[in-house]
């Protein structure tokens, strides 16, 4: 019977299910409470913003109403339609009367600064409280029937709106005889936002969804304002409606963002309220609940342990011993007390692991001897392949009476077999292996004068140990199946280095390459455990690489950028030395 099916496991599972059910119920209750609190915060913020919006819209509508009154004023009509010399007494009286009305209106509310100007397109004249300069080009450029924010004459920014006695087609002021300019500075909005900031925590700003422009209070948190603006462009849609709300998660915590659209400006008043303070009491309740829950859980575990200590402890030891055996540790031994109820089981377990270890050591030695014979067989299968090519070249050069090529090939072949006959050494340094590759490529250059090669391997990689003949078969494969069948200049590039504990080596050619189907079949062949029918050379090298460096070593094949094939060998640094040590011990 498995341990998970006994009474102790069932009891613990039942207790865990009860605790889990309690946590789930409390979590659902907590989520509902959180939603209610956040909904109340949104409603409160919405009411606050509605009052602020109403106050701002009322003051702006007052400005529009005065502009309409000013538009229909008789003195304004006279100023706009009767051609009178500006220096005449009547004209001065009219201008003075209009200026008095404008000044009076501008000084009605000290908290809300405003300015008005009257344009007469007929007389090409302009009248305001502080200046009088008519510029038709500037008027044509800036005139709009909606409130717009742009730079003003004092170096700041102001909202402007123009009201005329007729419809201005395409914004042409010539279509109207009189135009009233109403404006208020950006500082009015900042004053409202600063007043709102004094009564709350967080940020309040005015945002234009059409242009992305915004106005914040004087003491605004730049980081929080940036977080708000980064999401407003996505969250606020012009078709959204009069209000919106969403949750903002910034680096300082979570915030409730609420917005109300101003009917006069078309901008949104946006408020960002931190939820941390509002949720603090709920957080304390959560901490108290989880503290009590943890205490109950600890008490339950203590009682459960006290009830089953005579069964749980030996079973844990036995299960731990079995898991050690499962992961290959057959030297594990279980200790017990003299009056232990499980002493017989532990004694039989120790006897079993001792017998298994002796059997495995015996089988392992047999496998190591078989593996050693298999490696030597794989190396022996590589040698004839290269020898046949060299002998074929010597025969051809002899028939062509090219004695220099024959002598050079003989010397190269002699050096090659001097290296090959060192059967007493299973591993060499990568530098020695690359010298063999250079010797081999020199021979191939005799056969193919169009062949060019380059070897660029880091010195720290060259000093590492590798199995003999691990690189040469790949280079030979690149020449025979790659560049030898191409009429263009052939190139072989060998590169290598280290990346941390990993060592890599690539052999790249510019031959005809492989199509996708043949490349896929070759990649599948390299993963086979048994000897394949095709792709034997690379499979042979891959098998020897894994035998030397373990399963982490890999050989991959891919298309090269210059049109050929690139073969990459990669293994973990240090494995070769261990492999050589193990081999020497087997030979001893």
Model confidence at 456, pLDDT cuts 50, 70, 90, reads very high
Q: What is the CA radius of gyration of the chain?
A: 45
Helix, coil or strand: residue 470:
coil
Q: How far is CA 37 from CA 43, 58, 276, in A?
A: 10, 32, 12
Sheet holding 148-151, edge to edge: 125-128, 115-120, 178-185, 157-164, 148-151
Q: What pTM value is reported for the model?
A: 0.47
Q: Can you give the pLDDT at residue 461?
A: 92
Q: How far is CA 192 from CA 49, 61, 202, 227, 570, in A?
A: 11, 16, 15, 22, 68
Contact assessment for residue 333 and residue 350, using Cβ atoms and an 8 Å cutoff:
yes
In DSSP terms, which residues pair with 554 in a beta bridge?
A: 570
Q: How far is CA 456 from CA 244, 361, 497, 559, in A?
A: 64, 44, 9, 20
Model confidence at 588, pLDDT cuts 50, 70, 90, reads very low
Distance CA 547, CA 377 (A): 13
Distance CA 120, CA 140 (A): 13
- pLDDT, mean of residues 79-95: 73
Helix, coil or strand: residue 363:
helix
Q: Can you give the pLDDT at residue 211?
A: 82
Q: Can you give the pLDDT at residue 412?
A: 80
| Average pLDDT score, the chain | 78
Helix, coil or strand: residue 436:
helix
Model confidence at 493, pLDDT cuts 50, 70, 90, reads very high
Question: Cα(first)–Cα(last) distance of the chain, in Å?
Answer: 48
Please indicate whether residue 514 or residue 496 has the higher confidence score (pLDDT). 496
Distance CA 78, CA 90 (A): 10
- 274 Rama class: left (phi>0) / alpha (psi -120 to 50) / beta: beta
Q: Can you give the pLDDT at residue 502?
A: 92
- CA angle in degrees (0–180, nearest 5) for 240-241-242: 135
Model confidence at 10, pLDDT cuts 50, 70, 90, reads confident
- φ, ψ for residue 484 (rounded to 5)? -65, -25
Q: How far is CA 495 from CA 64, 66, 305, 479, 571, in A?
A: 78, 83, 62, 17, 15
Beta strand spans in 294-390 (E): none
For residue 485, give the DSSP letter.
G
Find the farthest-apart pair of alpha carbons in the chain and give their distance in angstroms, rounded: 128
Distance CA 137, CA 121 (A): 12
Distance CA 34, CA 247 (A): 13
pLDDT, tens digit (0-9, with 9 covering 90-100), for 55-65: 899 999 999 99
Q: How far is CA 135 from CA 74, 140, 367, 459, in A?
A: 24, 9, 101, 78
The secondary element (H helix, E strand) that includes residue 107 is none
pLDDT at residue 166 tops 60:
yes
């Amino acid at each position: 019977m498995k341990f998970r099916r006994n009474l102790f496991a069932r009891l613990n599972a039942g207790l865990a299910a009860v605790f889990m059910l309690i946590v789930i119920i409390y979590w659902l209750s907590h989520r509902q409470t959180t939603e209610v609190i956040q909904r109340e915060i949104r409603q409160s913020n919405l009411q606050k913003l509605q009052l602020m919006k109403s106050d701002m819209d009322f003051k702006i509508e007052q400005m529009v109403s005065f502009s309409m009154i000013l538009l229909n004023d008789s003195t304004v009509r006279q100023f706009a339609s009767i051609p009178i010399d500006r220096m005449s007494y009547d004209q001065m009286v009219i201008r003075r009367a209009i200026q008095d009305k404008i000044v009076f209106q501008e000084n009605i509310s000290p908290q809300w600064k405003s300015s008005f100007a009257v344009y007469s397109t007929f007389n090409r004249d302009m009248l305001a409280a502080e200046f009088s300069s008519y510029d038709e080009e500037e008027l044509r450029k800036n005139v709009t029937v909606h409130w717009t924010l742009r730079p003003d004459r004092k170096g700041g920014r102001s909202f402007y709106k123009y009201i005329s006695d007729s419809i201005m087609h395409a914004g042409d002021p010539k279509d109207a005889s009189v135009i009233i300019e109403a404006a208020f500075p950006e500082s009015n909005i900042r004053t409202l936002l600063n007043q709102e900031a004094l009564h709350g925590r967080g940020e309040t700003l005015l945002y234009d969804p059409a242009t992305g422009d915004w106005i914040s209070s004087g003491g605004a948190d730049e980081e929080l304002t940036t977080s708000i603006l980064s999401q407003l462009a996505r969250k606020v849609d012009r078709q959204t409606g009069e209000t919106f709300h969403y949750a903002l998660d910034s680096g300082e915590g979570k915030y409730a963002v609420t917005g109300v659209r101003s009917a006069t400006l078309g901008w949104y008043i946006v408020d960002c309220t931190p939820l941390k303070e509002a949720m603090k009491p709920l957080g304390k309740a959560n901490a108290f609940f989880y503290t009590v829950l943890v205490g109950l859980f600890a008490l339950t575990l203590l009682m459960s342990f006290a009830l089953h200590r005579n069964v749980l402890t030996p079973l844990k030891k036995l299960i731990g011993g079995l898991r050690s055996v499962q992961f290959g540790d057959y030297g594990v031994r279980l200790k017990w007390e003299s009056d232990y109820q499980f002493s017989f089981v532990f004694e039989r377990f120790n006897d079993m692991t001792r017998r298994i270890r002796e059997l495995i050591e015996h089988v392992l030695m047999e496998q190591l001897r078989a593996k050693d014979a298999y490696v030597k067989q794989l190396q022996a299968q590589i040698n004839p392949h290269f020898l046949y090519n060299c002998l074929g070249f010597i025969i051809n050069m002899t028939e062509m009476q090219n004695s220099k090529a024959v002598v050079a090939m003989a010397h190269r072949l002699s050096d090659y077999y001097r290296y090959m006959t060192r059967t007493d050494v299973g591993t060499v340094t990568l530098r020695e292996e690359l010298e063999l590759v250079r010797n081999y490529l020199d021979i191939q250059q005799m056969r193919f004068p169009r062949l060019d090669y380059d070897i660029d391997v880091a010195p720290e990689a060259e000093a590492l140990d590798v199995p003999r003949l691990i690189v040469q078969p790949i280079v030979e494969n690149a020449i025979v199946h790659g560049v030898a069948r191409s009429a263009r200049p052939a190139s072989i590039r060998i590169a290598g280095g280290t990346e941390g504990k990993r060592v890599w080596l690539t052999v790249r050619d510019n031959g005809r390459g492989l199509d996708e189907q043949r490349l896929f079949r070759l990649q599948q062949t390299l993963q086979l455990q048994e000897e394949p029918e095709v792709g034997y050379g690379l499979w042979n090298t891959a098998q020897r690489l894994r035998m030397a460096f373990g399963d982490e070593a890999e050989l991959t094949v891919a298309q090269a950028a210059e049109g050929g094939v690139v073969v990459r060998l990669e293994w973990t640094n240090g494995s070769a030395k261990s492999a050589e040590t193990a081999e020497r011990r087997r030979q001893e």
